[in-house]
Structure 1
Amino acid sequence: MSIGFGSLVDGWERAGTPGRIAITLARVPDTIGNSFKGPEPWAGRAVVEPLPAGFWRNPDQDFTDPGYVLVSPFDLQRGRSVVQLLRLKDGLVVHEFVPDVDAANARSAFASVLTDVRRDKDAARNRLMHPLLLGDGSIVLHDSSPLARYDACGKLIWSIDGIFHHATEQGPDGSIWTGYRFPQPRQPNVKPGFWDDALAQVSPDGKLIGVTRIADILQRSGLAHLWGSRPYMDDPFHLNDIQPVFESGPYWQRGDLFLSMRNLSLVALYRPSTGKIIWWRTAPWRFQHDVEIIDDHRISVFDNNIRISDADEQVDGVNQLLVVDFATGKTGSPWQAGFERNRLATRAQGRGTPLPNGDAMIEETEQGRLVRMAPDGTLRWRFISANADKRRMAISWARYLSPQKDGAAIQAAASAKCN
């Protein structure tokens, strides 16, 4: 039986015309990409502090980060995005991926009003979203484009045609989960530009295991009203995260998936074995991204905290990284002081990764800023994507890597010999 907590409040439809404008602006990452003049992902509308590009480690902190991070900055010299594997103890780029996305696009055959991969997602414009590092040093990525795997030297290994989008994660059985959007919608009585979102499960060798529509999941779970009772829009769901569960516990099972649907402000726990949502909640976050599992009873949710009643859609102060405790039923914001101190406020996208010592890695996507901060806002380190004049450029969903968990993959990438 499905279990629901909370209710839809402050919905975009209550805001009338301003709300519909805001929801249109919310169609990201495509909105961000389409707003650029040329391929460079210059920072969005927010006024941001000029900061030098690259990695900075706080010299006043007696702290050494043992981890690594995968980040996708835009390389102005190459005129395209790249993927860098950074060692966080000193900011050294131990490997740089320059994936041949045009090779994957050349194999694409789908037609859709939603995107033209050769025009919109070529090497110059492909943002290399949320790269996933595999054990052999290869990476899997997309950008509302075909899903593809590239070796450490950027050569295409395999690709799957279609519109794959947002987060990419590997589950406990090794399969890859990512968002998928049908090039031609399956939903009846909708316009050609309808975003018919789905979950895609892919094997590491590039076989499409299955695609499950979000509309069908909600229908089976008795939750179709969450979108079906609203005025028509092309992008009712906006699936932006699929987080696999690795260990069974009192509130979820191995193989379950946490889902985030931005335009419903919905976080849900989905059980593929039954095809149904077993827990869901729509508050207190607004237009959230990035669900992370902290332990056997807590999750975190990156809350964009958007004022959707504004015609131009603004963050209500700063973003938040909320923690939901299933054992107590309470939700807290342990890094709130840090968000306020550092004025972290990305309107679109954004990532939040709780770390074992109580710190968090936060990505301010639109402003091209990635930080590790303590709860009080003290920065351990900072990475900035910008040009020589300190003009910021967006980044594309960085991933924290641990030597304990990801050591073999890190070593494989770092030791790769490329021409």
Structure 2
Amino acid sequence: MEKGDRAGLTAFFIGCLFFAFLGGAYIVLAQVFPYKFLDNAYRAGWALVQQKHTIDSPFTQTDQWRKARSDKRGTAIYDPKRAYNGYTLYTSGGRTTAYLIDMQGHVVHQWHADYSKLWQTTPDGREAQPDKLMYFRKAVMYPNGDLLAIFIAAGDTPWGYGLVKLDANSNVIWKYHGATHHDLYLTDDNRVFILTDAYRDQPVPGFRNLKTPWLDDYLVELNGENGQVVKKISIFDALWHSRYQALLGADPSFAMEDPLHTNSVQYLGDALGKAFAPAQGNGDQVLLSTRHPGLAVLLDVKSGQVTWALKGSWLGQHSMRALPNGHFTIFDNYGNFEKHNMSRILEVDPTTHAITWQYAGNAQHPFSNLLRGAVVTLPNGDRLITESDGGRLFEVAPNGDIVWEYDNPIRGGDHNQYIPVVSSGQRIKPDQLAPAFRRSLNTSQE
């Protein structure tokens, strides 16, 4: 080939590349055909790369492990005269196990279930993550030792994998293969309320920045006897078609594929329906926390409609719970803006919006929790707090004193430098347990 021909061919090739670049830039910037297909392929490929890194490096590539803040293990603080004494149920990252401990931190009972022995795929039919990347995100114990537990997997979306009911010996009573996540609530009449999620491909007219596919959350009611679905409600649709639709405009830009990120659910019942003013006497409602728009939401179970919503000063919140005094508590993950103490627990009056009580940590006991977290108000007025990122549970008296603290004793890594996150935090009085189960507990170290 002559030198001139080669130069012309090179120029032609460079020109093709230049026009291809211009065409690609126009497709991306204008988001015209075939942008959606290319974007979905890119995101899917990147997700596979990230998933591979997650499997290879669970300590550094998942949110189930954190750098341990100290060498403390087990019960570090215990004031028996001021604490609400009993057993504490919690779950630990890195394993699908729930632990029941006494006030000294001794394990008196535990439950375990491997996901791979229950199901081979995710709820939507994809290959499931290995068992080592799963843990029980939330567990709730019955007085007779039965246990409800939510499976969560790292490095996957939708991240919910299923719900199982175990007996005291970890035998399966029933299982629900849905994309369960974050929270569950067991009512006194054995109804189970859970949160699930699923992708939707349809754009929402009027929500211009919402990307497709996007993740919707659902409120699901299960029959506690057999795990069968009683009702399923789209939380997004309920909020979008309510008078509170404009509050979705508070969604941050990173949430355009996950516009709600609902992370807590509480069924009110008759007593709380009367005490909690926004419920207007209707206890057949659930209180929800939607993290990304930062909302407290009441959803009527019968009608499927949102009846009330509130946006406050909290940021990245979890674990909303209505109280008998008509207020509600919130785990405010990073609304405190103090060094080493970015988190706080709030008690809020829903009528005046006033913060009536708060706990925010101090220099001696830092309190910072970016993800997860929970707070339970105990019968004596103390708060049982789950600081997931710190791998600890602690009980705070009304004056802010820590009267009990437990640090997850499990460690990982080459030098035991990592601690698994904790969640759940259920405190149970011994006399609330069924006699047969109470006798079975390993109380020899108490």
Query: 1: CA distance between counterparts of 2:117 and 2:274?
Result: 43
The answer to whether the 8 A contact 2:86-2:430 is kept is no
For 1:71, the aligned partner's letter is Y
Q: Larger C-alpha radius of gyration, 1 or 2?
A: 2
Deviations 1:260-307 (A, max 9, x none): 000111111222233222221111111100012221411111101259
The corresponding residue for 2:73 is 53
More contact order relative to length (CA 8 Å, sep ≥ 6): 1
For 2:106, the aligned partner's letter is L
Structure-1-length-normalised TM-score: 0.76
Query: 2: CA distance between counterparts of 1:307 and 1:416?
Result: 40
Cα deviation, residue 368, structure 1: 0.7
Aligned residues: 368
For 2:85, the aligned partner's letter is P
The corresponding residue for 2:174 is 158
- The aligned runs of 1:191-270 (5 Å cut-off) are 193-204=213-224, 205-227=226-248, 233-246=256-269, 247=271, 248-250=273-275, 251=277, 252=279, 253-270=282-299
Query: 2: CA distance between counterparts of 1:51 and 1:270?
Result: 43
Cα deviation, residue 86, structure 1: 1.1
Q: Considering fraction of residues, name the structure with more helix.
A: 2
Seen in structure 2, the aligned counterparts of structure 1 residues 34 and 245 have a Cα distance that, compared at 3 Å, is: farther
Query: 2: CA distance between counterparts of 1:404 and 1:293?
Result: 25
Query: 1: CA distance between counterparts of 2:173 and 2:393?
Result: 30
Deviations 1:179-232 (A, max 9, x none): 1012x4264467665211111111111101121111111133223333368667
Cα deviation, residue 172, structure 1: 3.9
- The aligned runs of 1:268-287 (5 Å cut-off) are 268-287=297-316
Which residue, 75, 83, 87 being the options, matches 1:68?
87
The corresponding residue for 1:111 is 125
The answer to whether the 8 A contact 2:69-2:390 is kept is no
Structure-2-length-normalised TM-score: 0.72
For 1:139, the aligned partner's letter is L
The corresponding residue for 1:25 is none
Cα deviation, residue 33, structure 1: 12
Cα deviation, residue 49, structure 1: 2.9
Query: 2: CA distance between counterparts of 1:73 and 1:32?
Result: 21
Cα deviation, residue 413, structure 1: 6.8
Query: 2: CA distance between counterparts of 1:266 and 1:229?
Result: 9
- Aligned to 2:287, the other structure's residue is in SS state strand
Cα deviation, residue 349, structure 1: 1.0
Cα deviation, residue 154, structure 1: 1.9
The answer to whether the 8 A contact 2:263-2:289 is kept is yes
Which residue, 86, 90, 108 being the options, matches 2:101?
86
Gaps of 5+ in 1: 1-30, 309-313
Seen in structure 2, the aligned counterparts of structure 1 residues 44 and 170 have a Cα distance that, compared at 3 Å, is: closer
The corresponding residue for 1:140 is 148
Query: 1: CA distance between counterparts of 2:202 and 2:422?
Result: 30
The corresponding residue for 2:392 is 369
- The aligned runs of 1:389-404 (5 Å cut-off) are 391-403=417-429
The corresponding residue for 1:345 is 368
Cα deviation, residue 167, structure 1: 0.5
Which residue, 342, 355, 364 being the options, matches 1:331?
355
The answer to whether the 8 A contact 1:372-1:380 is kept is yes
The corresponding residue for 1:412 is 437
RMSD (CA atoms): 3.5
- The reply on whether 1:99 has 2:113 as its aligned counterpart is yes
Query: 1: CA distance between counterparts of 2:424 and 2:51?
Result: 16
The answer to whether the 8 A contact 2:96-2:113 is kept is no
Seen in structure 2, the aligned counterparts of structure 1 residues 320 and 340 have a Cα distance that, compared at 3 Å, is: farther
Cα deviation, residue 335, structure 1: 2.1
Cα deviation, residue 135, structure 1: 4.0
Query: 2: CA distance between counterparts of 1:165 and 1:283?
Result: 24
Cα deviation, residue 324, structure 1: 1.2
Seen in structure 2, the aligned counterparts of structure 1 residues 277 and 32 have a Cα distance that, compared at 3 Å, is: farther
Query: 1: CA distance between counterparts of 2:52 and 2:166?
Result: 23
The corresponding residue for 1:28 is none
Query: 1: CA distance between counterparts of 2:380 and 2:364?
Result: 20
